[in-house]
Structure 1
Amino acid sequence: MAQRRILITGATGGIGLLLSERLADDYEIVQHGRTPKNEEQERVLRKADLEQYSEVLPLMEGVDTVIHLAGAASPESEWDAVLSANIVGYRNVLEAAREAGVRRVVYASSNHAVGMYDRLEEWPVYPHHLPRADSFYGVSKAFGEILGRFYHDEYGIDVISLRIGWVAPDPLPADIELLKAMWLSEDDAERAFRRAVEADVRYGVYYTVSDNPDRRWDMTNTMLELGYRPQDSWVKRAGGEHVVEGGEPTPDDWPKGS
């Protein structure tokens, strides 16, 4: 059986580099980005401005699944940045996927699409809660989820949106408890994206964090529908948890620094 051909947009970012390396044994990986980050990318990186549809469409040749990571990544991004990179860019990716007959798009959404619940400490948060962005970045991610719903309903493309937490090799240096609670280890990130590529479900929005006992975001559908089984938690790394009923207060300037 031929390997699935997977296009990773934003392959030069942290998660993109991780997935490009770890998925390469099982899939044919096409790496997209702007600035190569290693010797392999110097050779193979496909450069395209995602705001230009004519540059996006050729990326889709022979592609089964798109893992869409590219875009403005900071919760502190200004409107012009998220409009061009996260909204126009993602629309071009979905439209090119539709035109090329791509089976599935896995969209890197974010906890910031509903981050106002976190700022106001209105927990727990469930996937069915209405979007409630905490920033222009969060607005762009909520828009992307809705756009993906439209492309699934209208054109039949599989769209899996992962509301990704905080990806870092080591959660312990963080001085904000909320960040630890939403930590997603690199190993669990790999597990989640593998399931998003392979699961039978054709559409969904899924919280994606590690097995942190103080998490505020429900992952029932992530585990049942995608089959995601997180193995890591910041508490295991720390050797124990100081329990605060209701969770520690959210910083007043959230999501700054997140």
Structure 2
Amino acid sequence: MDGPVLLTGAGGAVGEAILEGIGDDYDWKLMFHSPPAEEPAHEYVVGDVADDDDVARAVDGVSAVVHLAGDPRKTAPWKSVLSNNIDGTQKMYEAAVDEGVERFVFASSNHAVGAFETDRRTPEMYREDDEFLLDGSEFPRPGNLYGVSKATGEILGRYYHDEYGITVCNIRIGNLTRNHPPIDYERGQAMWLSYRDCAHIHECALEADYEFEIVYGISDNDRKYYSIERAREALGYDPQDNSAHFDGEQRVVEPDA
């Protein structure tokens, strides 16, 4: 990277995973919605993604954007997702283009296709072996307004890529938890994303040669709702974790040789 990488929403869990995993590998500029409790090790700004001046200040001087900021609540009301997630993402793209940013990585979500999971009778959700697997080529099918905002963010990325040539990667992030997958929660285990795999897929999105991508951000779990083959092919993603390698007491289970 020729300049700093802007990480918005740096105080959230995804930002935490990224900074823990690859924090020493890049010159970061962090954006927080509220002042951080501790002084960060990197340059940072405090601002609102829905405020044009705050966004311009955040994007100033950066070469890439990893955009995580927004209202993360799955039950967020329309007013909030419209302002924080949709309008905020559009402002970030607009400022990035004005600044000449070359690459934009957008934290999408499994909720962009959440309705598929509640209607498994849908034929396109199944491969020939009858395994429920989505690969990123399907149309969005959000199951809540938060998912609508994430699907809209992907479409904004498509527009800004086509119109301005900015490189865009949309990562449909699964169920991120530290150290171990959710216990006694099959759906969460199927879409589990470990902290180190989260850092790794974002590193891949910053480094790989591609134009526009939609990929799933999950670990290499035996049981999957989502395919990670596109992430492997387009980004060089090589996840190291698998929810099947943890037992109910949160111990690692060595995989068979």
TM range (shorter): 0.7 to 0.9
In the alignment, which residue of structure 2 is the partner of 1:190? 199
Which of 224, 231, 235 aligns to 2:240? It is: 231
- Letter of the structure 1 residue corresponding to residue 15 of structure 2: G
Deviation string 1:207-237 (CA, Å, 9 cap, x unpaired) is 1100101101112111011000111011112
In the alignment, which residue of structure 2 is the partner of 1:159? 168
Deviation string 1:126-147 (CA, Å, 9 cap, x unpaired) is 2111110010000000000011
CA distance in 1: counterparts of 2:173 and 2:203, whole angstroms: 14
Shift of residue 43, structure 1, vs aligned partner: 8.3
The question of whether the paired residues in 2 share the 8 Å contact of 1:166 and 1:182 is answered with yes
Shift of residue 40, structure 1, vs aligned partner: 2.3
1:32 is paired with a residue whose SS is strand
CA distance in 1: counterparts of 2:103 and 2:227, whole angstroms: 24
Shift of residue 14, structure 1, vs aligned partner: 1.1
Structure 1 residues 112, 173: CA separation in 2 closer, same or farther (over 3 Å shift)? closer
- Letter of the structure 2 residue corresponding to residue 157 of structure 1: I
Is 1:127 matched up with 2:136?
yes
TM-score, normalised via structure 2 length: 0.88
In the alignment, which residue of structure 2 is the partner of 1:87? 86
Structure 1 residues 43, 190: CA separation in 2 closer, same or farther (over 3 Å shift)? closer
Is 1:169 matched up with 2:181?
no
Identity %: 38
CA distance in 2: counterparts of 1:76 and 1:113, whole angstroms: 14
Shift of residue 171, structure 1, vs aligned partner: 4.0
Unaligned runs of 5+ in 1: 242-258
1:210 is paired with a residue whose SS is coil
- Letter of the structure 2 residue corresponding to residue 107 of structure 1: F
Q: Superposition RMSD on alpha carbons, in Å?
A: 1.9
- Letter of the structure 2 residue corresponding to residue 221 of structure 1: R
- Letter of the structure 1 residue corresponding to residue 148 of structure 2: V
Structure 1 residues 171, 3: CA separation in 2 closer, same or farther (over 3 Å shift)? same
The question of whether the paired residues in 2 share the 8 Å contact of 1:171 and 1:180 is answered with no
Is 1:103 matched up with 2:80?
no
In the alignment, which residue of structure 2 is the partner of 1:23? 22
CA distance in 1: counterparts of 2:231 and 2:42, whole angstroms: 36
Counterparts of 1:39-78 in structure 2, within 5 Å, are 39-41=38-40, 44-78=43-77
- Letter of the structure 2 residue corresponding to residue 83 of structure 1: L
Unaligned runs of 5+ in 2: 126-131, 248-252
Shift of residue 113, structure 1, vs aligned partner: 0.3
In the alignment, which residue of structure 2 is the partner of 1:11? 10
Deviation string 1:95-128 (CA, Å, 9 cap, x unpaired) is 0000000011100000110111111124222211
1:107 is paired with a residue whose SS is strand
- Letter of the structure 1 residue corresponding to residue 99 of structure 2: A
The question of whether the paired residues in 2 share the 8 Å contact of 1:117 and 1:125 is answered with no
* Higher deviation after alignment, 169-178 or 37-46: 37-46
CA distance in 2: counterparts of 1:212 and 1:92, whole angstroms: 35
CA distance in 2: counterparts of 1:240 and 1:76, whole angstroms: 38
Structure 1 residues 211, 85: CA separation in 2 closer, same or farther (over 3 Å shift)? same
Deviation string 1:42-89 (CA, Å, 9 cap, x unpaired) is 984301111111221121122111000000112121111111110000
Structure 1 residues 17, 36: CA separation in 2 closer, same or farther (over 3 Å shift)? farther
- Letter of the structure 2 residue corresponding to residue 94 of structure 1: Y
TM-score, normalised via structure 1 length: 0.87
Is 1:207 matched up with 2:216?
yes
The question of whether the paired residues in 2 share the 8 Å contact of 1:3 and 1:27 is answered with no
Instruction: Report how many residues are paired.
Output: 240
In the alignment, which residue of structure 2 is the partner of 1:256? none
